[in-house]
Structure 1
Amino acid sequence: MVYDLLLWAGLGIFIAAMGPDPIRDPAAFGLVTAPKVALAGVAVLVGRRWPLAALMLLVPLGPWEFGQGFATVDLSWLLPRRHVSILPLVATSPYIMWYAYLTGRRMSGLWSPLTAFLLVTVVGVGVVVAQGGDLALWVAMATGLVGTYVVPYSFGLLRRKLLQQRTQARQSAEAQARLRERARIARDMHDSLGHDLALIAVRAAGLELTPGLGPAEVRAAGELRIAAADATERLRQIIGLLREESDAPPLAPVGEEVTELVRRATDSGMSISLELARGPAPGLARAVVQEGLTNAAKHAPGAAVEVTVSRERVVVRNGPPRSRPTARPGGLGLAGLRERVRLAGGTMTAGPAGDGFELAVTIPHES
């Protein structure tokens, strides 16, 4: 409200400066200036919400006095008049330019501003015709329309487009951040829960084969193995919903080291031999070993697993399964790992090797 009152006060002062002297000719001031000030008050009142309406209300106060302008040009080679006003300015021109700018800044459609500008052009043509239709007047009127209405509107339109692009870029960045977070959650679920469920299934399969158990215990162990396999399948479906194929999963692995990972899997009943070379291992060594052990536990239960970790190469190889697999093929683990290896500058191969399966990853060592 304070802003609008100040705007109206400033506009009223400029309108008063354009009209009769209120001291010498109060009657003319009240007849000419007072209605214009009231019109300006209405324009300010509606201008915040509807700048185009304010722009149209201020048409009578437009640049229709062609005697003075922003600049003059010598057109004596074309016109009898030597000095022709370019971009005629009046005291209210800055306010009209402001509302023209706001029209471009806030209005998304083009038809309403275009119609309004056509009406303003009609008014300008009428003023020129009323003043004799001299060519110099046409030049002044045309430059006044362009400078007072078209240029500010174009700046407002450009500003709106830039802000829209900025908003779209921010929304796109937020969407990408959400997708990356979903991919990270999917990766963590796959790496932690999927691995743990696979180990539970291995333990249950081992219980089924333990001698001395009664039929009820064997059946319970079998149900536990099946339940773990079903939970693994549901986890796989959830991961599929969370992960986008175009998302690059985070590159930094989390959790325990390779030796601890192998020890925990061995405690669960897997037969694993580990060959760990001296020196720093590749950055993705833990992720590769975990994926290989998880796949061996799910798809080759009871198989012997060989894990080899050197400075630039990680290999996980398993033999043939000794019992029925606890999961169906076609998961996203190898696909996600392949992308992580690619982004790290390495190569990955995964496929049958003899009677079993081999996962091998080579990552160049950074000196």
Structure 2
Amino acid sequence: MRRTPRHLLHDVLLWLVMSLLAAAAGPDPFADPGRFLAVTGGRVLLLALAIAVGRPWPLAAVVILLPVGPWQFDEGLATADWDFSRGQATGDQLWPLSLVAVKIFPLTPTTPAVIWYAYLTGRRTARAWPAVAVLGAATVVGSGVVLAHGGQPRLWVTMVSGLAGFYVLPYLLGVLRRRLVHQRARAGEAAAAQARMRERARIAHEMHDSLGHDLALIAVRAAGLEIAPGLAPAQAKAAGELRVAAAEATERLRQIVGLLREDIDPAPLAPVDEDVAALVERARGSGMEVTAEIAPGPVPALAHRVVQEGLTNAAKHAPGAWVRVSVAPGRISVRNGPSRGRPTAVPGGMGLTGLRERVRLAGGTMAAGPAGEGFELVVVPRAGEGDPRVA
């Protein structure tokens, strides 16, 4: 980690605060200057070394601070009176039990620094074995200190509670914080990936619905030119080639849509600036024989998409056929008669499949199939249905 001037300032302030605590809790400099220099000077030096390396390598700071760890057993955050004897009975007399004051979580002047760097170790170190090794070393040091003081049971309790409070708990809190941050980052990446997939789905649906519809209308126009009377053979041939090219472009578009499409959120049901009447008029202007009956009242949100798919299918699979569009609040239908030309597309597209899913998300029902000599698409929307993107 690169140390910035701000980091340097924070580290110097931290060292000053920790040094003042160590000096305040150390020997009296006036009564015993030599011991003050040895004890307090050693603590200040160790704190300086730990703070110097603690930001990039917090585990190294924990190792440096091992000599000034929780080995001061006469002060603690809590004191408990424990009985370490079983008591003895002589005849009918029971000797009183002896209670011993036990210090829990021993305090030292360097306690905040040790806890902080143990926390940073859990926060920044992904591998667990170095921390386990340092904890083992701390256990060895603490056991040596306890044995040097006589190995009394109360000292073992103080030492174990110090290890837990100084090293284990802060380290585990750091690990928890690191995992929470990592989980949050992964959630952000997943949200970004989902947003990209939704955008791909939107592009795919928009390409299929709008561009596919326009290509179908181009094919209809080309088919009409191909059979127009009085057209020169070369021009009729060019019109036929245009019709075939439009059909091939539609097929390539379907393949591209298959690569882009992800069934996450459907695209909007209608362009912002076009209603059902404008859609029918555009199809009629391309040469299709379309009649429309639009009932007064609110138009269902699904109407534009249903009519667009019905007109596109009629243009591709039944060129030259008449088409009747009916839009009412409770029913939308698009029906076409028999084809009077060669189809401009191969069956097996995803238009009706995608439309059926949109209708399902909106709570409606859909039926599509042969009707007489032609084909009919009928959708019964749910009353008051909205955009299926919020379904």
What is the TM-score when the length of structure 2 is the normalising length? 0.89
In structure 1, the residue matched to 2:43 is: 36
RMSD value, Cα: 1.8
Distance 2:64 2:370 in 1: 81
In structure 1, the residue matched to 2:389 is: none
1:288 aligns with 2:306: yes
In structure 2, the residue matched to 1:235 is: 253
- Superposed counterparts of 1:259-270, under 5 Å: 259-270=277-288
In structure 2, the residue matched to 1:311 is: 329
- Superposed counterparts of 1:129-278, under 5 Å: 129-244=147-262, 246-254=263-271, 255-278=273-296
In structure 2, the residue matched to 1:70 is: 77
**Gap regions ≥5 residues in structure 1:** none
Q: CA deviation at 1:251?
A: 4.7
- With over 3 angstroms needed to count, the CA separation of the structure-2 counterparts of 1:332 and 1:22, relative to structure 1, is farther
Distance 1:87 1:194 in 2: 73
Q: CA deviation at 1:81?
A: 4.6
- Partner of 2:368: helix, strand, or coil? strand
- Partner of 2:79: helix, strand, or coil? strand
Distance 2:214 2:54 in 1: 65
Q: CA deviation at 1:77?
A: 6.0
Asked if structure 1 preserves the Cα contact closer than 8 Å seen for 2:202 and 2:265, the reply is: no
Distance 2:267 2:242 in 1: 33
| 1:51 aligned residue (50, 54, 58) | 58
- Which digits, 9 at most, give the CA deviation of each residue in 1:33-55, with x for residues without a partner? 33332222221111111111111
Asked if structure 2 preserves the Cα contact closer than 8 Å seen for 1:81 and 1:136, the reply is: no
- Which digits, 9 at most, give the CA deviation of each residue in 1:56-105, with x for residues without a partner? 11111111011111001111364845211011111111111111111111
In structure 2, the residue matched to 1:15 is: 22
- Partner of 2:277: helix, strand, or coil? helix
- Partner of 2:346: helix, strand, or coil? coil
Q: CA deviation at 1:252?
A: 4.4
| 2:126 aligned residue (108, 117, 122) | 108
Asked if structure 2 preserves the Cα contact closer than 8 Å seen for 1:319 and 1:355, the reply is: yes
Instruction: Give the letter aligned to residue 3 of structure 1.
Output: H
Distance 2:370 2:133 in 1: 72
Asked if structure 1 preserves the Cα contact closer than 8 Å seen for 2:100 and 2:154, the reply is: no
- Partner of 1:32: helix, strand, or coil? helix
State the percentage of identical aligned residues.
59
Distance 2:156 2:346 in 1: 82
**Gap regions ≥5 residues in structure 2:** 1-7, 87-97, 386-391
What is the TM-score when the length of structure 1 is the normalising length? 0.94
Q: CA deviation at 1:21?
A: 3.3
Q: CA deviation at 1:29?
A: 3.4
Distance 2:353 2:109 in 1: 69
Asked if structure 1 preserves the Cα contact closer than 8 Å seen for 2:201 and 2:261, the reply is: yes
In structure 1, the residue matched to 2:341 is: 323
Q: CA deviation at 1:335?
A: 2.1
- Partner of 1:82: helix, strand, or coil? strand
In structure 2, the residue matched to 1:3 is: 10
Distance 1:69 1:250 in 2: 65
Q: CA deviation at 1:27?
A: 3.4
Asked if structure 2 preserves the Cα contact closer than 8 Å seen for 1:248 and 1:340, the reply is: no
Instruction: Give the letter aligned to residue 35 of structure 1.
Output: G
Q: CA deviation at 1:207?
A: 0.2
Distance 2:269 2:138 in 1: 63
1:346 aligns with 2:353: no
In structure 2, the residue matched to 1:97 is: 115
- With over 3 angstroms needed to count, the CA separation of the structure-2 counterparts of 1:306 and 1:252, relative to structure 1, is closer
Asked if structure 2 preserves the Cα contact closer than 8 Å seen for 1:248 and 1:339, the reply is: no
- Which digits, 9 at most, give the CA deviation of each residue in 1:288-325, with x for residues without a partner? 00011111111221222121111111111222322222
| 1:119 aligned residue (128, 137, 146) | 137
